[in-house]
Structures are given as C-alpha cells and as structure tokens.
Amino acid sequence: MRYVRATAEDQARIQDFLSQFVDDYLAEHIAAYFSSDSGGVYMALDEENQLLATGIVELARPQEVYVSGMRIRPDLQGGRLGQEFAEFQVQEGKRLGASVIRSLVGRGNEFSQRILQETLGFHVVDEWVVGSFEGFEAPAFAEGDAGPAWAVDQERLRAFVKQHEDDLWSGKDHWLPRRLTFEDVWQGVEVGAAAVAPQNIGDPVDTLALFRITDGDMHLNYLRSMGQHLKTLLQYLRVESRAWGVKTLHFGLPRHAADKFIEAADLPLAREWHGVVLEKHVGLTSSSVV
Ligand SMILES: CC(C)(COP(=O)(O)OP(=O)(O)OC[C@H]1O[C@@H](n2cnc3c(N)ncnc32)[C@H](O)[C@@H]1OP(=O)(O)O)[C@@H](O)C(=O)NCCC(=O)NCCS
C-alpha cells in the first residue's frame, strides 16, 4: 500500500469513492482541498492502484496543520487501516512543518476518537458545532450600540484578543477550527467583516464577531461575548444580512459560543452537527515527540 497526494485529476474518482458514505458532509465539501498549495487530499492505494482510503492534511497556517476526512473503504474497516492512515497524516503534517496538529471528530465516532487519542496521543481541547439558521432576517432598522469595528478600535481589540488567546475560529471553512490571532481580527476589520459592541472606543470590547457574506449566505466564523452586548451585536448582523439580502446564516463555532449564539438568535436550526476538536503538539519537545 502507498499514500499518494491527490491532484485535480483524481477528484471525480474520489467523489465516487465518497458517495458510498451515507449523510457525509465531505462529498459536497472536499473540492476546496484539491486547490491547496501544500497538503490537501491523500489516497491510500494498493498494488493494483485500487483506492482503499482517503484523508486530508491541510496546512491551516504556518506550523498549524489540520487532519480530517478519513474514509476507509467499508469492506476494509476494522482492519487497522484507519490507524495506519492517521499515523501517515501526522507524519505528513510534521513534514509540512507543523508544531500543532488539530482534528475534528463527530460526536459518537468512538473509533476515530480512539485512534487519535489512545493510539496517537491527541487530546480534546474543545467541543465544536457547525450549523445553519433559516430566516435570519433583519429588523426594519437597527437599535443599540453595535456595528463594524474600525481602525480606531485597534487597541481595545488587541486587548480583547489577548484576553481570549486560546479561542478557536473557523476562518474560511466551518469544518476547520484554527487558533484566532490578532492578525485574523485585523484582516476582518480591514474588509468590514468584524463587528464589535459597544461602539464607544473608550469602553472595553464586550462582544466581537468575524463574519463573511458569500453567495447570499452569511457565515459566522468567530464569536466571543462577555454577555452584555450579544443581542445588540446580533441585531447589527441582521442589518448586515438585510443589506446583502441574506436568508441563511451558517456558523462553525466552539460549543460555548455556539450555545450562546443559538439561544440569542432564537431561530430554528436548519442544520446542526456536533463534534470535538482534538489537538497534538508535535516537534522537538521532549514530552510529545511522535
Ligand atoms: C472511523 C474509521 C476511519 C476507523 O478506521 P478503521 O480502519 O475502521 O479502524 P481501525 O481498524 O484502525 O480501528 C481503530 C479502532 O477502532 C476499533 N474498531 C474499528 N472498527 C471497529 C468495528 N467495526 N467494531 C469494533 N471495533 C472497531 C478497533 O478495534 C480499533 O480499536 P483498538 O485500537 O482499541 O483496537 C473507519 O471506520 C471509517 O472510515 N468510518 C467511516 C467514516 C468515518 O467515520 N470517518 C472518520 C471521521 S472523523
């Protein structure tokens, strides 16, 4: 058996392979990984070039690798291939320069969690929720003290991010949790995709959100609220969604933020997926050499 990094030519074959896994988000989602500069989709092939398994190794940012999407051909499951493939994903992650490797496993997927935790030494760092709301419509006009974050907010935003430096967010992909940095927030400010409350720069930040609007949908990628201004900020997101004619809001958030958001939004969830974020520090530290 050998592991091969897939190219765009392999996409159809892999989509066909994935079609045998029921209710699997990956089939509609994997296309994005064929255009990665490094890492991406990998295949396990036997001597006859038969496709035995697939998996993803994504360089989320320098030194931060994300492994996911492991799919073992159903007739081969329970035969240790999953464990071997996960070991390959970790080695490939290290080859790509990782100092931390993260993975997302669906709630109740004990086999995957067992491979990552018991065999490869990952540990759970957070719970994760991916979901969508229908009917995220805007009020006629916005009330309250929330709005876009501006350049003048830099210092209080920096203080807020420092206070929550272990926070995870879902950059361009709700299924890919990564550590939030001040640079991520500043990029959001520069493109008008960061919302903050209260607006008065003399007040500390209470609530911060990073979002983007693509193809008529709003995507909430980061949310942290100290509780006072969450509803006000949601009101502002609704105004933004009205401005862009948004009907559906999607999110990928840590459980603590998702629970607060779902409660405050008070709307039916069209889709809800729960899982855990597992993490492993790799590199030349005595305690965690693989
Ligand atoms: C989950 C999955 C990747 C595991 O790979 P696998 O090759 O089947 O698993 P392995 O043979 O390496 O076994 C891993 C562990 O799970 C256990 N296991 C796996 N399948 C099992 C089964 N059907 N019954 C009982 N135990 C099972 C093994 O005993 C092993 O535990 P151990 O190390 O304590 O002995 C594979 O089953 C799969 O592709 N499932 C469908 C898609 C999916 O859920 N992917 C993961 C998304 S995060």
Number of CB atoms found within 10 A of residue 272's CB? 12
Q: Indicate the residue among 72, 98, 124 that finishes a domain.
A: 98
> Using 50, 70 and 90 to split pLDDT, how confident is the model at 290?
very low
Between the ranges 19-23, 76-80, 262-266, where is the mean pLDDT highest? 76-80
Q: Mean pLDDT across the stretch 210-218?
A: 90
State which ligand 1 atom lies nearest to the alpha carbon of 104: 48
Question: Does 140 map to a domain?
Answer: yes
pLDDT digits (tens, 9 = 90+) for 161-177: 999 988 999 987 888 89
Decide if 17 contacts 56 (C-beta within 8 A): no
Residue nearest to atom 28 of ligand 1 (CA): 78
Q: Are residues 64 and 188 in the same domain?
A: no
Among 111, 124, 274, say which to mutate for ligand 1: greatest number of ligand atoms within 8 Å of CB: 111
Cα(119) to centroid of ligand 1, in Å? 12
User: Of all residues in the chain, what percent are helix, strand and coil, respectively (each to 5)?
Assistant: 35, 35, 30
Question: Does 248 map to a domain?
Answer: yes
Cα(110) to centroid of ligand 1, in Å? 8
Q: Are residues 246 and 143 in the same domain?
A: yes
Q: Are residues 136 and 263 in the same domain?
A: yes
Residue nearest to atom 48 of ligand 1 (CA): 105
Q: Encoding tokens for residue 70?
A: 């492991």
User: For ligand 1, which residues put their CB under 6 angstroms from it?
Assistant: 21, 70-72, 77-83, 105-106, 109, 111-112, 114-115, 119
Q: Are residues 151 and 232 in the same domain?
A: yes
Instruction: Please tell me the total count of domains within the chain.
Output: 2
Domain that holds residue 54: 2-98
Question: Does 40 map to a domain?
Answer: yes
**Can you say whether residue 156 is alpha, beta or left, with left for phi > 0 and alpha for psi between -120 and 50 degrees?**
alpha
Mean pLDDT over each residue of the chain, to the nearest integer:
89
Cα(274) to centroid of ligand 1, in Å? 19
pLDDT digits (tens, 9 = 90+) for 71-122: 999 999 999 999 999 999 999 999 999 999 999 999 989 999 999 999 999 9
CATH number, domain of 218, equals 3.40.630.30
- pTM recorded for the entire structure: 0.87
